[in-house]
Amino acid sequence: MNADKKIIQIATDVLVIGGGTAGVAAALEVAGQGYKVVLTSKEDKVAQEAKDGAVADLTAKAEANANIEIMTNTVAADVKGVPGKFEVTLKTGDAAVEKTFGAIVVATGLTTTVLNDAYGLEMGPKVVSQSELEAMLAEGKLEAGKTVAFLVGFGQEGNPLVMQRVLDSLTALTKVADTDAYVFVGDIKLAADGLDALYAQARQEGVIYFKTKETPQVTVGDAMTISILDPVLRQRVEVQPDLVVVEEAILADEDNAALAVPLEIEADNNGFLQPDNVHYFPVKSTRLGIYLAGASRDLLSFEQGLEDAGNVALEVKKFLGDGNLEVPSNTAFVDVDKCTVCLTCYRCCPHGAIYWDSRAIIAESACQGCGICASECPNDAIQLGDYADDAMAQAVKDGQGSAGKSPWIVAFCCKNSGLEAMKMAKAFGYRVPAGLQAIEVPCAGKIDMDYVMDAFVQGADGVMLLTCHNGNCKSDKGALYASWRAEEIKKMLAAVGMPEDRLVCASLANNMGRTFSEISVELERSIKKAGS
């Protein structure tokens, strides 16, 4: 441990990108923490649409807040620098300004697209999208006495946000005189507050739901028909609607992909800016200093966006503090003399912490201490605090002889998963081999091939690499790197005639003490068997 804590000064202004409700709320919450905020909206205004008056209220508060500067028609054209000191180019029309921010909050919105192709339908006056229906209902343009049919859940798997819109429309429809409503639906997605009750209520008001697996057949023309095989009555059912309402998919903002690049954050495969990994809950991104509110991170409701705003403010506060950032002792450091600027580290850092300026530089305010760069650097130019190569080698050496007569098993354990699972196994009295020596690593991606080979050279009877499950690694690919390296090492072991099963690479969660016990005991058993 370094005795002297290193403090660096960082900027404390905060940029909020996105003038929707989550963005406005986030700006207010962050300003409430005492920081100056710039709130940008790519449109000519920030959130106005009234949802129980709450939104207009928020906007009014933001406009009145002296610590919030609202910039409309503005986009973040470029982002440079590092967490604590992001240099952002803000473009308003042709005018560009550069501003420095300590942290950035992204609060982009959602878009919709109508799924008529899934039903082979052309849109027209009698075939409308969910959005068009909502507009008709809002403007009172739906005539009385019509039969309306909804198609939902066949063009997409669907989710409660999609279903909520349908149910809200049904509630409005039942107030229009003499309306008959039919809903053709795959699975009814009700996993959100109040939806099951809305669903039941609409049914009571006479709405008829047909739940089927097959996509309904729709014929359009002067007389439209929808036909399905009714799973309850077990016969073909035909409905002649006056109006067909086609479902819409709700998708991530198209701007997200373009934002992810300069922000150096990882998006998920649906275009949301938070990877599908529980370590980022609720509002973190892969990079320190960048936080996500509402629909920028997932398909979230209005209310969830407001909740996120509160959470974002807590995270911003934890990161920026009073502008004096204490650098953790375990950040990576590049030896200038060894670095050949191959940029391997820049490419593999999962947290956007590395940049270069005639050599690789690691931003202390951004490094999360996973050590992946240190293990991947072909020139051994990077060392990581307590987990430097010599310290790791020493740890193995210290274990020599500790096993006594039992097989000596060196277990490199990710501190987030394997190490916790081992502690659990011990606390619960599950069997753990007597000669097992656990060596903590900050992430399985820090387990060098050298460490493993060295352990064997020192006389270890077995080596374990215990990683998080794929998709649960806090640093994204650390577990994958470990498993790839294990494959390579096994080949090397085979080449020198050593049984490959002496090396075990397994993934665990922190709550898998039982499995830790089983895996390690099994390794011990196979070593003993081979030895006898």
Partner 1 sequence: MTDKPKKALVIGGGIAGLTAAWELAQSQVDVELVEKSPFLGGHSISYCCKATDECVKCGACSVDKMLAQVVSEPRINVTLGAAVAKVDKGGKFTASLDVAPAYIDAEKCDNCGECFQEFRNTGAVVRGYSKNNTPLYAICADAAKDVDAAKLAGVCPKGAINLDAKATKKKINADTVVVATGFTPFDATKKPTYGYGVRDNVITGMELEALIRQKGQVVRPTDLNPPAKTAFIQCVGSRDARLGNLWCSQVCCAYGLRMARKIKYANPEAEVKVFYMDIQSIGKNFPAFYTQCKEELGFVRNIPVDVYPEEEGRMRLSYADEDTGERKDEIFDLLVLSIGITPGEDNAQVAELFSLDQDQDGFLVEKGEGVFLAGTAAGPKNIPASMAQAGFAASEALKYIGVTK
Residues 341-400 that bind partner 1 (CB under 8 A): none
Stretch that binds partner 1, among 52-60, 134-142, 156-164, 351-359 (CB under 8 A): 156-164
> Does residue 284 interact with ligand SF4 by CB under 6 A?
no
- Please, what is the minimum distance in Å from the beta carbon of residue 383 to ligand SF4? 10
> Does residue 304 interact with partner 1 by CB under 8 A?
yes
Q: Which does 99 bind (CB under 5 to 8 A by kind): ligand SF4, partner 1, none?
A: none
Q: Which does 304 bind (CB under 5 to 8 A by kind): ligand SF4, partner 1, none?
A: partner 1
Spatial strand order in the sheet of 503-507: 436-441, 409-414, 462-467, 503-507
Residues counted in the chain: 532
> Does residue 191 interact with ligand SF4 by CB under 6 A?
yes
Contact by Cβ (8 Å): 19, 47 = yes
Which helix (H) or strand (E) segment holds residue 204: the answer is: helix 195-204
Stretch that binds ligand SF4, among 96-104, 122-130, 267-275, 341-349 (CB under 6 A): 341-349
State the Cα–Cα distance between residues 483 and 502, nearest whole angstrom.
15
Taking CB under 8 A as the criterion, the residue among 12, 472, 475, 520 binding partner 1 is 472
Taking CB under 8 A as the criterion, the residue among 200, 261, 391, 530 binding partner 1 is 200
> What residues between 444 and 483 interact with ligand SF4 by CB under 6 A?
469, 472
Find tokens 């006594």 and name the residue.
404
Q: Which two tokens stand for residue 62?
A: 């933001």
Q: Give the residue from 319, 308, 317 showing the smallest Cα distance to 272.
A: 308
Can you give the three-state secondary structure of 268-280, one letter per residue? CCCCCCCCCCHHH
> Does residue 298 interact with partner 1 by CB under 8 A?
yes
Strand partners, 413: 440, 466
> Does residue 185 interact with ligand SF4 by CB under 6 A?
no
Stretch that binds ligand SF4, among 8-16, 30-38, 200-208, 332-340 (CB under 6 A): 332-340
- Please, what is the minimum distance in Å from the beta carbon of residue 366 to ligand SF4? 7
CA atoms within 13 A on the CB side of 342: 14
> Does residue 27 interact with ligand SF4 by CB under 6 A?
no
- Alpha-carbon distances of 272 from 28, 260, 326, rounded to whole Å: 23, 9, 31
Taking CB under 8 A as the criterion, the residue among 132, 247, 253, 420 binding partner 1 is 420
Taking CB under 6 A as the criterion, the residue among 341, 449, 480, 498 binding ligand SF4 is 341
Taking CB under 8 A as the criterion, the residue among 306, 348, 361, 489 binding partner 1 is 306
| Cα angle, residue 177 at apex, residues 174 and 178 outer, rounded to 5° | 90
Contact by Cβ (8 Å): 529, 489 = no
Stretch that binds partner 1, among 44-52, 107-115, 298-306, 350-358 (CB under 8 A): 298-306
Nearer to ligand SF4 (CB atom), residue 186 or residue 399: 186
DSSP, residue by residue, 93-151:
TTEEEEEEESEEEE---EEEEE-GGGGT---SSSEEEHHHHHHHHHTT-SPTT-EEEEE
Stretch that binds partner 1, among 115-123, 350-358, 416-424, 431-439 (CB under 8 A): 416-424
Contact by Cβ (8 Å): 49, 55 = yes
CA atoms within 13 A on the CB side of 303: 4
Which helix (H) or strand (E) segment holds residue 218: the answer is: strand 217-219
Nearer to ligand SF4 (CB atom), residue 253 or residue 476: 476
Find tokens 């294990």 and name the residue.
486
> Does residue 362 interact with ligand SF4 by CB under 6 A?
yes
Stretch that binds ligand SF4, among 135-143, 232-240, 338-346, 428-436 (CB under 6 A): 338-346
Taking CB under 8 A as the criterion, the residue among 122, 175, 269, 531 binding partner 1 is 269
> Does residue 161 interact with ligand SF4 by CB under 6 A?
no
Can you give the three-state secondary structure of 399-464, one letter per residue? HCCCCCCCCCEEEEEECCCHHHHHHHHHHCCCCCCCCEEEEEECCHHHCCHHHHHHHHHCCCCEEE
Pattern 423-462, partner 1, x by CB under 8 A: xx-xxxx---------------------------------
> Does residue 343 interact with ligand SF4 by CB under 6 A?
yes
> What residues between 366 and 395 interact with ligand SF4 by CB under 6 A?
367-373, 377, 379, 381-382, 384
